[in-house]
Structure 1
């Protein structure tokens, strides 16, 4: 009897995906279809001429296999060059850009379709390629060697979506690509940073090892923040600070910021000191020290990495925002930071209007800058929550549109997933919202906004106790939290009948708005402090005279409408008009 075997073989797999396909079809479905079909037929010819075979074309995706890895790369380069040429005849908003991922691995080939983990890896590599770019696996890079006219830029080990093991990846750089010039003010819109090797002021080999471990772990942790451009490990670890000053070293590395650290013995334990340095001025922007015992080396390594990473990002953003007031830039991430701070302030409609101006400025210079699109989504969501828009019915569709565009540009951007997830709550898509927030945290375990967004999701799906824990994780990672963190925490505390804690949380907000005051008034009423409840109610009603307790159903998107009833009852107890309960 002959055993049934699946036809397996080694192949180079090419996966292509069109960027912003949803927007293109939404704007002009017929024109997009005709243009894309023309482009795909041209791609088929390129693939065939390079010895490959197109296996599948569905929607905006193309899958092809090649017997030789080098041929798959040259086919990809030719495809991208042809797209660039063809796009030159189209207006900017109609141009079609693609990402390409290539992997060398085993496939199951039945003659018509191909399957296997190798195919999945190629698809995930495509997701982390920049628009118009090509990303290949290390397995393909090794086989290709130096046989091609292109060069490769290592991007390190990547945790790809739904792939268990990390994959070493490389970007393909062809002659038509413009290399990045290293200057003390890099062109990359992200905040640039290098982590220098932690120095060990002790002869203890274990502590010296901890210093090196902290350096590597901190580089990896910071690399998860998409708003940062982090110098790779092999470059950072090769630096020697005793021969050059911080300003010269920052210019040499092309970074704005440096992280410097040291480890030394302190009594029976040890002390780790970390500093954030402005490489342009040479000044210290932030410093912190951490103490531990020798028996805690591994556990404290993780704790220090988490605390330093989250605190560094917050200080980087605050430093960049201050710097933005004194110099004018083009598509600079500082504009995104300033805009996000305006949104998070939630004080007046002008905040989101000014933020949108900044976001549109960035997008006008770089239409494919995903964080700006995520920010635009957030401004429209904020307008809905604060009742600032004269057309409230347009807020959710606009927020959804921009968040989706951001994800299409960069599916591995944790910020985009977080914004889309939070937006999904107000679209009534609670399961989808949780899924995107989980994806955001998988991509970036230190993403404070995603933790806070997950807290909101837990509130609105009826688990306030778990929400309190989740929002607490957000506070740990963001020492400069926007007011909506505390607003969310207060709602979770109220829904857990922890009214005194809700009052304390809201009192920590410097400038209370009417949404904060409603929760505060209901909390006071639950505690029996009706005078304080009345004072907060009067402030709210003076601002919005027609407000009723039942209106809160429009602003808090509970999956189960019954879960908002305790809050409405508290508002009525505080003296707010009950309104229509239907």
Structure 2
């Protein structure tokens, strides 16, 4: 009774059935173009591919929801089995394409999402399905994209490579979605260890990171040098004039410079970078002015 009252207060009809499930969405990349080029051949290849997909869904305890046009939607009670199914499906489709050269080559894209859905008869609806569909559109040809919720459940469960693509804004979904692509080349790890996601960065970001690492490495080297000098000065001080600790005075400037160097090496001295950039721009402007 309390549950019914709460549902009425929230404006939710008690007759709506929901469940948490893993949704798989797949479709053919460039399907319209292929149909325009060869309708009969593309349809024949699609039927053959569907047989493989349906077989893999059943093999991994999934439930086929529908197959409209070139799209396939299925759901799984197990996240791990859903990912296994996606990987196995792409592997089997690739093998079929290699063994059936007369078929029109079809490249499928697959998206996987773990989400709450509304059950309506044999069909499912809701944001969970929409997100899986958007992930499928983000996947490359013969590739797989999964949401962050799926990744959280499968990391460490079986050997496969993951690439973190960042948080993506997709149509009709308010919040950005963490997206991972599966590196199928790493799906057979001989050591049986799970791969950590590879963070993809731009060339500019990588150069900045490398520069930061070099600064930090240089800072550690200078720490060792200054440390040796301080010990050396201390020993000379003790041996020559133990009653007066004069080694402190040459040590203080070195420590001050080292502290400033550390601030820059660990991201606290960005004003130096800005000064360098301004100086570089100024020199470029002067050079252009002289050239005129």
TM over 0.5: yes
Q: 1:130 aligns with which of 133, 137, 140?
A: 140
Q: TM-score, normalised by structure 2?
A: 0.63
* Residues 238 and 120 of structure 1: CA distance in aligned 2, closer, same or farther (over 3 Å): farther
Residues 1:75 and 2:82 are matched in the alignment? no
* Alpha-carbon offset, residue 173 of structure 1: 2.2
* Contact 1:149–1:174 (Cα < 8 Å) also in 2: no
Q: After superposition, where does 1:472-487 map in structure 2 within 5 Å? A: none
Task: Output one character per residue of 1:10-66: Cα deviation in whole Å (capped at 9) or x when no partner.
Answer: 000111010111121111101111110121122111101111111111111111100
Q: 1:149 aligns with which of 159, 169, 173?
A: 159
* Contact 2:160–2:188 (Cα < 8 Å) also in 1: no
Task: Output one character per residue of 1:424-463: Cα deviation in whole Å (capped at 9) or x when no partner.
Answer: xxxxxxxxxxxxxxxxxxxxxxxxxxxxxxxxxxxxxxxx
Q: After superposition, where does 1:258-337 map in structure 2 within 5 Å? A: 263-264=270-271, 271=274, 274=277, 288=281
* Alpha-carbon offset, residue 136 of structure 1: 0.5
Q: Distance in 2 between matches of 1:177 and 1:136?
A: 15
Q: Distance in 2 between matches of 1:95 and 1:75?
A: 21
Residues 1:29 and 2:2 are matched in the alignment? no
Give the equivalent residue in structure 2 for 1:241.
214
* Alpha-carbon offset, residue 274 of structure 1: 4.8
Give the equivalent residue in structure 2 for 1:114.
124
Give the equivalent residue in structure 2 for 1:53.
63
Q: Distance in 2 between matches of 1:38 and 1:139?
A: 32
* Residues 192 and 168 of structure 1: CA distance in aligned 2, closer, same or farther (over 3 Å): closer
Q: Distance in 1 between matches of 2:22 and 2:210?
A: 33
Give the equivalent residue in structure 1 for 2:265.
none
Q: Distance in 2 between matches of 1:237 and 1:12?
A: 39
Q: Distance in 2 between matches of 1:108 and 1:272?
A: 57
Q: After superposition, where does 1:9-28 map in structure 2 within 5 Å? A: 9-28=19-38
- The count of corresponding residues between Structure 1 and Structure 2 is 213
Q: Distance in 2 between matches of 1:45 and 1:178?
A: 22
Secondary structure of the residue that 1:171 maps to in structure 2? strand
Task: Output one character per residue of 1:216-244: Cα deviation in whole Å (capped at 9) or x when no partner.
Answer: xxxxxxxxxxxxxxxxxxxx489412267
* Alpha-carbon offset, residue 128 of structure 1: 1.2
* Alpha-carbon offset, residue 263 of structure 1: 3.8
Secondary structure of the residue that 1:42 maps to in structure 2? helix
* Alpha-carbon offset, residue 150 of structure 1: 1.9
Secondary structure of the residue that 1:94 maps to in structure 2? coil
* Alpha-carbon offset, residue 130 of structure 1: 1.1
Q: TM-score, normalised by structure 1?
A: 0.33
Q: 1:95 aligns with which of 97, 105, 129?
A: 105
Write out the 4+ residue segments of structure 1 that deviate beyond 4 Å after TM superposition: 90-93, 175-179, 270-275
* Residues 237 and 158 of structure 1: CA distance in aligned 2, closer, same or farther (over 3 Å): farther
Q: Distance in 1 between matches of 2:216 and 2:270?
A: 20
* Residues 112 and 194 of structure 1: CA distance in aligned 2, closer, same or farther (over 3 Å): same
Give the equivalent residue in structure 2 for 1:166.
176
Give the equivalent residue in structure 2 for 1:85.
95
Q: Distance in 2 between matches of 1:178 and 1:21?
A: 30
Task: Output one character per residue of 1:130-154: Cα deviation in whole Å (capped at 9) or x when no partner.
Answer: 1111110111111123112323222
* Residues 60 and 288 of structure 1: CA distance in aligned 2, closer, same or farther (over 3 Å): farther
The alignment yields a C-alpha RMSD, in angstroms, of 3.6
Give the equivalent residue in structure 2 for 1:507.
none
Q: Distance in 2 between matches of 1:105 and 1:39?
A: 27
User: Which is greater in Rg?
Assistant: 2
Task: Output one character per residue of 1:502-536: Cα deviation in whole Å (capped at 9) or x when no partner.
Answer: xxxxxxxxxxxxxxxxxxxxxxxxxxxxxxxxxxx
* Alpha-carbon offset, residue 90 of structure 1: 4.4
Q: After superposition, where does 1:341-420 map in structure 2 within 5 Å? A: none
